[in-house]
Structure 1
Amino acid sequence: MGVKLEVFRMILYLSFPVAMFWISNQAEYFEEYVIKRKREIFPPEDDFKRKELEAFKERMRKKREENLLQMTEE
């Protein structure tokens, strides 16, 4: 009985991780759970937000340049 039990345990120990790896890497599973969840957390950017961010960056750049000019004049 000892050898049969050891063979069964070895098959179980090897098949479980391989089965979990195979199941988790199915394309349907990946599309359904991972991609949808990623889109919920990080929605696609829209033009308004992108333009608003660019305008903010430009305002900050101008403010930093003005501060540098004031510091060099003093």
Structure 2
Amino acid sequence: MNDKKENTCDQCRYFRAADALTGNCHRFPPSFAGDSSPRETHHWRFPMVSSHAWCGEFLPVWQDQISSIGATI
């Protein structure tokens, strides 16, 4: 059994869950989305990522974040 905690997005302090499988990465400011069509609604958005994805910017969740997440569940 592997006790090592995974460095995946759902374990990162920059991740904000949208549902059980995806969320938004708040590592950098939102980027402009919706530029492909003049009729499309334009928004500033944080990138949508899989909760099990990973990147080189990973930082573990702070302990106070873990406490507040547990309190909201």
Q: What TM-score bracket applies, with the shorter chain setting the length?
A: under 0.3
Structure (1 or 2) with the larger CA radius of gyration? 1
**Larger % of helix: which?**
1
TM (norm. structure 1) is 0.22
Structure of higher RCO (CA pairs closer than 8 Å, 6+ residues apart): 2
> Normalising by structure 2, what TM-score?
0.23
